[in-house]
Amino acid sequence: MKKIVFLILTLSIAIILASSYFPIKNKNLKSGTPKINGVVFDGPGDPPITEKMVQDIKKSNAEWVAVIPEAITYVNTLNVKSFLNKGQWYGESMEGALITIKHAKKNNLKVMMKPHIQLSHDLSGWEEPEDIDFQNKEDIKKYLESRAAYISTQKKLTKGGGRAFEPINEEDWNTWEKEYEKFILECAKIADANAVELFCIGTKLSKSAVKRSDFWKSLIKKVKKIYDGPLTYGANWDNYKNISFWNELDYIGISAYFPITRGNSPTFEAILKGWKSHHNEIKNISIKFDKPVLFTEYGYRSVAAAGIKPWENNAQNDKVDFENQNLLYKGIYQTFWNELWFQGGFIWKWYHSGNGGKHSYSPQEKKALETIKKQYASDSQ
């Protein structure tokens, strides 16, 4: 009887150990693999992008930078437009992205190219009111009313908002997918030509990534014929478990805005506790697909409520709390950065100048920066 009990206890211990340290097959999961410690660069709205703007990233001890060329999906035509000449934020233009990559390479920063999509209306048929004085409230009102009136005449071919949008029918899906594919393949060519170290094929396109997996698998194959480097996709924190094409990629990418606290300014212990279930679920996905996990975005605003809904960025009346931001960074580092199956991540975000204000996500000129510097420095040793 004692022998049986001993065998049961031995087996139980073995199972527990196996669950916390699973067999490593993927070459990227081996001990000693350097972490990808990066920031997402927010370039200026107008040129130039100077070398110093990019060079300053190294103040965080980051060794990687995510560069974001952005395109527009027009909800009334489903066209995907990049290389815009008018009205585009310069840092998110392809020209701006290329200059950022050039500066990054010169300063020994590795690059992830991470194309984004935003929604808008094609206003090419709109006749703008003439002689508008944008310093005059009545003129501004006239301008906005004219714009809204034109938009109301256009048939919307999508439903849902943000990157969780989806075309209405199969024909519209096919139209958008052809447009998106052209954009991504063009980005892949540029990434390959400029020796970009990592390419992200999409970000938080929640409905598409789950409902249209065949499209994404086809897109991945086409990208691999153009770009000779590792690939990821940036899934939103609430649907990464529903992605079926992780095995086609090199990293399981997650925008890690997980809700981890219930109240303002929590204790460090509460932050660690809040991560526990998320940590286990993320680990299980890594085991399932035998792929390392990469946080394609992670970060917190410097406010008391930052851990409740980290994705929210519209509450300027939130109480400023630099220590809370600092503790949230400490919590994510203690939870993930020593795990073999975890590859690192990119902080949202790093401004080209200043820090975006006291409520912003940026850790620049804030207490959290010292925590980040310490973590990133320890990983590079």
Of the two residues 324 and 120, the one the predictor is more confident about is 324
d(CA 301, CA 296): 17
Task: Please identify which residue in the block is written with the tokens 């060794």.
Answer: 63
Inform me whether the pLDDT recorded for 14 exceeds 50.
no
Pairing of strands 64-67, 70-74: unpaired
DSSP string, 22-86: PPP-SGGGSTTPPPEEEEEEE--SSS---HHHHHGGGGGT--EEEE--EEEEETTT--EE-S--S
Task: Report the alpha-carbon distance of residue 143 to residue 328 in Å, rounded.
Answer: 43
Of 72-81, 178-187, 361-370, the one with minimum mean pLDDT is 72-81
Report the Cα–Cα distance between both ends of the chain, in Å, rounded: 52
- Paired residues of 112 in beta bridges: 66, 198
| Sign of torsion over alpha carbons 233, 315, 350, 271 | negative
**C-alpha to C-alpha distance for 325 and 55, rounded to whole angstroms:** 24
> Where on the phi/psi map is residue 335: left (φ > 0), alpha (ψ -120 to 50), or beta?
alpha
- pLDDT the model gives residue 131: 87
What pLDDT digit, counting tens, does each position of 197-220 carry? 999 999 999 999 999 999 999 999
Return the SS3 of 185: helix
Task: Check whether 351 has a pLDDT greater than 50.
Answer: yes
pLDDT score, position 83: 62
User: Mean pLDDT score of the chain, rounded to an integer?
Assistant: 91
- The residue length of the chain stands at 381
Among 15-19, 242-246, 282-286, 308-312, the minimum mean pLDDT is found in 15-19
Mean pLDDT of 351-372: 96
Q: What percent of the chain has pLDDT over 90?
A: 80
Amino acid of residue 171: E
Q: Is the pLDDT of residue 20 over 90?
A: no
CA distance 215 to 175: 12
Q: Write out pLDDT tens, residues 135-194.
A: 999 989 999 999 999 999 998 999 988 878 899 999 999 999 999 999 999 999 999 999
What pLDDT, in 10s, does the model give residues 23-51?
A: 445 655 655 689 999 999 999 999 999 99
Query: pLDDT > 70: what percent of the chain?
Result: 89
- Please give the distance of CA 329 from its chain centroid, rounded to a whole number: 16
pLDDT for 316 equals 64
pLDDT higher than threshold 50 for residue 17: no
Decide if pLDDT at 112 tops 90. yes
Alpha helices in the chain (DSSP H): 2-20, 51-55, 94-106, 137-152, 170-193, 206-211, 213-226, 268-289, 322-336, 368-380
Residues 258-303: tens digit of each pLDDT: 999 999 999 999 999 999 999 999 999 999 999 999 999 999 999 9
Residue 380: per-residue pLDDT: 72
Confidence of residue 124 (pLDDT cuts 50, 70, 90): confident
CB 73 within 8 A of CB 84: no
Judged on CB neighbours under 10 Å (0-12, 13-18, 19+), 246 is: buried
Q: What is the CATH code of the structural domain delimited by 33-380?
A: 3.20.20.80
Q: Is the pLDDT of residue 4 over 90?
A: no
HSE on the CB side for 17, CA within 13 Å?
A: 6
